Amino acid sequence: MMRPIPLGPVAIRCAFGVASCAYALAGSFSLTAYAVQVRSVTEGVYSSGQAARGQQIYRVECAECHGTAMEGASGPPLVGESFLSNWSARPLANLVDKIQKTMPFNLPGSLSRPQSTDLAADILRAGRFPAGPVDLSDAMLAEVAFPAAGVSPSPAPAISAGTSLPPPEGNLAELMRAIAFPNSNIIFNLQLKDPGAQPKRKPASAPFDYVEWGSNEYPGWLAVDQAAVALTETAALLLTPGRRCQNGRPVPVDHADWKGFVAALVEAGKLAHRASQARNYEAFIDISDKLNDACANCHKVYRDKGGTEGSGAARCQ
């Protein structure tokens, strides 16, 4: 945790003034950006020739994950209601940025800006938005937006009395990589290393590295405590309505077996937390087995259909 530096009254007033000014400027820029987004993708913002170029790129770089007709495979669909809902009223520039910076999944950043823009044109073609007389240019992107989706997202239902969760931010794969994967590995690692026998924290190297510093800030049993809590608390996130799998299908939160797999993960997390608090290293042999079973049983049904990473077209069924 970063330690705050006390500020005197003058510094606080200055900081408040700077923040207020920044807020005003941010609001001004936001209003300006909104004002120039006057065109819709329904107004013929790309050309047929540009979409044809994008289609050639799509077949080579994208079809394997998103399907030959953009219907979705291991990656989400790029046409249809779920796609339009996700991009509702957002600038077309955001889509091109995402393509350029994060796609293809196994080689992000390998597409040029013109290629990414041509791919966006092909996505518009596939979505049956009309073509126009000129190519979509980089300068036009910020002035063009998707139409607002006609269906408002349903609010997340209550998980318990007086408690509800906001709509999910990430897909299931992103959630698992962010929480379940790294924290499970901390538990599994106890089969190899005693957290009570770990060396003392290393001093931060120069130049300062936040990731290196953070990984050493809570060593040994503290890391195990936190991993156990993270796995247990993930349950509500794995049951959040509206979350989708990486291939665009809804996470089967209403399936009885899915709920059972989540319950098994919670049980393993709670056992791990109690054993960690007791610093009971020997208990983690059985706990690691329980955690492995909880993960493997779910993966067998919902993840492994479709093969290795990037080929899960049949996942979440």
The domains spanning 40-145 and 158-303 adopt the same CATH topology: no
Q: Give the C-alpha separation, 178 to 168, whole Å.
A: 13
158-303 under CATH 1.20.120, yes or no:
yes
Amino acid, res. 80: G
* Residue-level pLDDT at 16: 35
Of 273, 306, 307, 315, the residue nearest 290 (C-alpha): 273
40-145 under CATH 3.90.25.10, yes or no:
no
* Residue-level pLDDT at 232: 95
Q: Give the C-alpha separation, 165 to 143, whole Å.
A: 34
Q: Give the C-alpha separation, 196 to 16, whole Å.
A: 45
Each residue's pLDDT tens digit, 17-53:
433 343 343 444 444 444 454 799 999 999 999 999 9
Pick out the chain residues at pLDDT < 50.
1-35, 37, 151-162, 310
* Cβ within 8 Å of residue 50, ≥6 positions away: 117, 118, 121, 135, 136
Instruction: Report whether 315 contacts 307 (CB < 8 A).
Output: no
Instruction: Record the pTM.
Output: 0.62
Q: Give the C-alpha separation, 229 to 20, whole Å.
A: 38
Domain ranges of the chain: 40-145, 158-303
Of 213, 308, 230, the residue nearest 266 (C-alpha): 230
DSSP 116-128: HHHHHHHHHHHTT
Each residue's pLDDT tens digit, 128-172:
999 999 999 999 998 999 999 864 444 444 444 445 668 899 999
